[in-house]
Copies of this chain bind each other. A is one copy, B any other.
Amino acid sequence: MKHYRQLLLAMLLLLPVSIWAQQITSPNGKLQLQFELKENGKPYYALNFKDKPVIKWSALGIVAKNVPSFEDGFEIATTEENKVDTTWEPVWGEQKEIQNTYTELLIKLIQPEVQNRTIQLRFRLFNDGLGFRYEFPKQANLNYFVIEEEHTEFRLTGDHKIFWIPGDYDTNEYAYTTSKISEIPELMDEATIPINAQSPIGHPSVQTPSMMKSSDGLYINIHEAALINYPAMGLNVDAENKIFSTHLTPDAVGNKGYIQTDFNTPWRTIVVSDDARDILASNLILNLNEPTKYEDTSWIKPMKYIGVWWEYFVAGKSTWAYATETNVKLEDDFTKLTPNGKHGATNERVKAYIDFAAAHGMDGILVEGWNIGWEDWIGNWKENVFDFVTPYPDFDVEMLQAYANAKGVQLIMHHETSASATNYERRLDRAFQFMKDHNYPAVKTGYVGQIIPRGEHHDSQWMVNHYIHVAERAADYQIMINSHEAVRPTGLHRTYPNWIAQESARGTEFEAMGGLNPDHTTILPFTRLMGGPMDFTPGIFQTDLSYYGTGSTQRVNTTLCKQLAYYVTMYSPLQMAADIPDNYERFPDAFQFIEDVAVDWDDTYILEAEPGDYITIARKAKGAAAWFVGGITDENERTASIDFSFLPEGEKFIATVYADAKGASFDKNPQAYNITKYVVTSKSSLQQWLAKSGGVAISIEKATKETAKGLKRLR
């Protein structure tokens, strides 16, 4: 049967086709992709779900600066249909095994009036959505070109509800706005809140992953996969006609991409379902990325970590900087500067963090502010801010690593680049060698500020290549990367599994700078996390920052239990316990969940989900009979329905439930929680009340007679 199909395809390939329209159906029959060359040989595609349009006929095309454009004048040369059904195992992830099942349509287009130049459009139709890309084969008349703009359209079928942040070349750290598409233009100014080093596109536009919901209950997510050697895509919004179109990030001279054939653009992705849980469960973006080429991945290991970090956000407690001076140079003798008395990364402080990590099963300790240069690191578009190898006078790298390693934990490196990518690349080999010499397994990189090379943007082609270069070079040194302020992820962690986490969104730090909206983390998994894991840095137990008596009136807008739930709902293989150890020691029974929770998974079960409202997820720990559940809600209290059918049948388990106590709420009583143990089986279910911006966290292990003794059994 298989042989027969391949033969048929070969025939199609050999025969130029005269038809102008093509169509494929997803393996499960629910999705339909149509392709057609319309007026002047201009390519269009359309996408249906259960026979209802998701994307109406939308144009495809790329305009070049120095060669005739790839917009029209096409004829179909050949088409090829392919069906693929395979599985693969990620190095780490939400599942041990990932299914990759799709119908592929490859259309070779020819431009007879441009020296028979050819391009290809490759569509992959999965059961949960569509991916497609432009391909430019190597050919005599097409070696190099410069992109002026990509004109891929997404013509939507109605005035959908959309969870969006403004299109911007430099930052993803906006708060989400929930509105109708038609309301985007009027809300644009308000949504474009001040962010360090922002470059808003300047007309109505949104970023991807863009999450929408139609009035008839269809969930639609637009993003991209495998962003390599190409600028990141924003979406221009034609609010009147409900048309999105690609807006690529320009470089310093306004160009949008330097292309050498053969070349494939990133995939444009549309994940679609009438069940929101399918959006979170989708592996479409990962499947569209290439397998890793790393031969040895044994050194890539998910980690749980604490860090000298949150205390920098608690006003007045401690500082990254060591000295009071505000004008320093790398060649300065820092021992001669004036200590400000509040430096966070001191030997003493770090040893205390190491002690805590060792006592509580944390794998690593991130230390920010360990290296010289923080006195004037921001706002000056300065190139040589950091050298990544010189510690402050009160930070002894050798001593601290020895101290940590003796206790079975490791320090995690911090490379804030202040967005000076040139300075970082120049020093990269030395910085990584320093890490190897001192047994650092991972580094958190940061890109705060205006990019150097000056005129480039965080999301431009050059920077996209930079992040990948850093990941690849890190792999040469067996180092894991956790990048902050880098371009939003597009599933590249399949190809570069040592690029283990990213920030690229509004994370916990903003809880100390105005607070995150209570619904923020019910949106992030539908948006930012579609591309890959996020180093959201959960785990803040002391949510009222006035506690510190430093004059701060800031407040983390969650209950304590919601912070616990994040360890399951906010997937990251590099997962932080972000609060100050002192606070964990005040709530040791709650901290037990963080100690227990896994960071790598055999399987994931999306139990409940509605973007902007709630998420409940269960996961099975990798290679262990341990399950963890997290459930969160927005500003409204709710009752989560937790069905334990994800557990193996016929066995008994102990579920430890960490739940908001009666009367808890994020704004008034966030630290009220109960911890209850139940006996559960695969037939059990739990109706669990969550406070306003509250959450529930559950750890599950196999029951023994002794542990089950006296516990209530959940039906």
Q: Name the contact of A253 in the complex, choosing from B252, B260, B462 (C-beta under 8 A).
A: B252
In the complex, are the beta carbons of A383 and B252 less than 8 A apart?
no
A455 CA to B382 CA in the complex, in Å? 18
- In the complex, A376→B260 CA distance in Å? 11
A253 to B453, CA, bound (A): 10
Alpha-carbon separation in the docked complex, A326 to B139 (Å): 11
Interface size of A in residues (CB-CB distance below 8 Å): 32
Chain B, residue nearest A453 (CB): B453
**Minimum CB–CB distance for A306 against chain B, Å:** 33
Nearest B residue to A381 via CB reads B258
Give the residues in chain B near A138, CB-CB below 8 Å: 327
- Partner of A453 from the list B260, B422, B430 (CB cut-off 8 Å) is B422
Chain B residues with CB under 8 A of A430: 429
Contact of A382 (CB < 8 Å), options: B253, B258, B376, B456: B258
The one of B143, B422, B428, B462 that contacts A327, using a Cβ cutoff of 8 Å: B143
Q: Mark A256-270, 1 if CB is under 8 A from B, else 0.
A: 001011000000000
**Given the contacts A422-B422, A425-B422, A382 and B260 also touching, CB distance less than 8 Å:** yes
Chain B residues in 8 Å Cβ range of A407: none
CB of A255 within 8 Å of the partner chain:
yes
Shortest distance from the beta carbon of A401 to any chain B beta carbon, whole Å? 24
Contact B469 A462 (CB under 8 A): no
A240-256, CB < 8 A from B: 251-253, 255
| Chain B proximity mask over A453-467: 1 for CB below 8 Å, otherwise 0 | 111100000100100
- Once the chains are docked, how many angstroms separate the CA of A455 from the CA of B454? 9
Known A-B contacts A258-B381, A327-B138, A327-B143; the reply to A251 vs B429 at CB < 8 A is: no
Chain A 423-435, CB within 8 Å of chain B: the 1/0 string? Answer: 0011011100000
Q: Is the CB of B260 within 8 A of A380?
A: yes
Do B376 and A143 have beta carbons less than 8 Å apart? Answer: yes
A425–B466 Cα gap in the complex (Å)? 12
Annotate A112-149 by CB proximity to B: 1 below 8 A, 0 otherwise: 00000000000000000000000000100001101000
* Nearest Cβ on chain B to A35's Cβ, whole angstroms: 29
A329 interface hit (Cβ, 8 Å) = yes
CB neighbors of B among A488-531 (8 A): none
Contact partners of A454 in chain B: CB under 8 A: 251-253, 255, 453, 455, 462
**B260 close to A455 (CB less than 8 A):** no
Interface residues of A in 371-414 (CB under 8 A from B): 376, 380-383
B residues in contact with A326, CB < 8 Å: 143
Residues of B within 8 A of A376 (CB): 143-144
Bound-state Cα–Cα, A563 to B261, Å: 45
Q: Are A252 and B327 in contact (CB under 8 A)?
A: no
For A453, the chain B residues whose CB sits under 8 A away are: 252, 422, 453-456, 462
A113 to chain B, nearest CB (A): 23
Q: Which residue of B lies closest to A430 (CB)?
A: B429
Contacting B at CB under 8 A, from A31-48, are: none
Q: Which residues of B contact A429 (CB under 8 A)?
A: 429-430
- Closest-by-CB residue of B relative to A327 is B143
In this complex, which of A143, A146, A380, A454 has the most chain B Cβ atoms within 10 angstroms of its Cβ?
A454
Instruction: Give the distance to chain B from A452, nearest Cβ to Cβ, in Å.
Output: 8
Q: Is the CB of A253 within 8 A of B425?
A: no
Nearest CB in chain B: distance from A437 CB, A: 15
Which residues of the other chain, B, contact A327 by a CB distance below 8 angstroms? 138, 143-144, 260-261
Are A380 and B144 CB-contacts (below 8 A) given A429-B429, A453-B252?
Answer: yes
Q: Looking across the interface, which residue of chain B has its beta carbon closest to that of A465?
A: B383
A383 to B260, CA, bound (A): 10
Query: How many whole Å from A229's CB to the nearest CB in chain B?
Result: 9
Q: In angstroms, how far is the closest chain B Cβ from the Cβ of A325?
A: 9
Which residues does chain B contribute within 8 Å of A261, judged by CB atoms? 327
CB proximity of A624 to chain B, nearest CB, Å: 40
Q: How far is the CB of A670 from chain B (nearest CB, A)?
A: 42
Contacts of A455 in B (CB 8 A): 251-253, 453-455
Q: Which residues of B contact A382 (CB under 8 A)?
A: 144, 258, 260
Nearest-neighbor residue (CB-CB) of A421 within chain B? B422
Q: Would you list which residues of chain A between 612 and 634 have a CB under 8 Å from chain B?
A: none
Task: Chain B residues near A251: list those with CB within 8 A.
Answer: 454-455
Q: Are A426 and B469 in contact (CB under 8 A)?
A: yes
Q: Are A260 and B329 in contact (CB under 8 A)?
A: yes
Alpha-carbon distance A326/B140, docked complex (angstroms) = 9
Contact residues in B for A329 (Cβ distance below 8 Å): 260
Give the distance in Å from the alpha carbon of A426 to the alpha carbon of B426 in the complex: 6
Q: Binary interface profile of A, 326-356, with partner B (CB < 8 Å = 1, else 0)?
A: 1101000000000000000000000000000
In the bound complex, what is the Cα–Cα distance between A52 and B262 (angstroms)? Answer: 67
**For A143, what are the chain B residues with a Cβ–Cβ distance below 8 Å?**
326-327, 376, 380
A144 to B253: give the CA distance in the assembly, Å: 25
CB distance from A382 to the nearest CB of B (A): 6
What B residues does A469 contact at CB under 8 A? 426
Complex Cα distance, B465 from A221, in Å, reads: 45
- How far apart sit A326 and B260, CA to CA, in the bound complex (Å)? 11
CA distance A252 to B251 in the complex (A): 10
A469 to B430, CA, bound (A): 14
Closest residue of B by beta carbon distance from A456: B453
- Distance in angstroms from A447 CB to nearest chain B CB is 16
Q: Please measure, in the bound complex, the distance between the C-alpha atom of A447 and the C-alpha atom of B287, giving whole angstroms.
A: 41
Chain B residue, CB-CB nearest to A261: B327
Nearest chain B CB to A417's CB is how many angstroms away? 14
- Bound CA span A430–B425, Å: 13
Q: Which of A681-700 contact B (CB under 8 A)?
A: none
Measured CB to CB, the closest approach of chain B to A390, in angstroms, equals: 16
Report the separation of the CA atoms of residues A251 and B253 in the bound assembly, to the nearest whole angstrom: 11
Task: Give chain B residues whose Cβ lies under 8 Å from the Cβ of A422.
Answer: 422, 425, 453, 462
Chain B residues near A456 (CB-CB < 8 A): 453
Which chain B residue lies CB-closest to A450? B253
Set of chain B residues within 8 Å of A380, measured between Cβ atoms: 143-144, 258, 260
Q: Which of A300-339 contact B (CB under 8 A)?
A: 326-327, 329
Task: Give the Cβ gap from A680 to chain B, nearest Cβ, in Å.
Answer: 53
Binding site for B on A (CB under 8 A): 138, 143-144, 146, 251-253, 255, 258, 260-261, 326-327, 329, 376, 380-383, 422, 425-426, 428-430, 453-456, 462, 465, 469
Top 4 closest A-B pairs, CB basis? A453-B453, A252-B455, A252-B252, A143-B327
Identify 18 residue pairs between A and B in the complex whose beta-carbon atoms are under 8 Å apart, listed by A's number: A143-B326, A143-B327, A143-B380, A144-B327, A144-B382, A251-B455, A252-B253, A252-B453, A253-B454, A258-B381, A258-B382, A258-B383, A422-B425, A422-B462, A425-B425, A429-B429, A454-B455, A454-B462
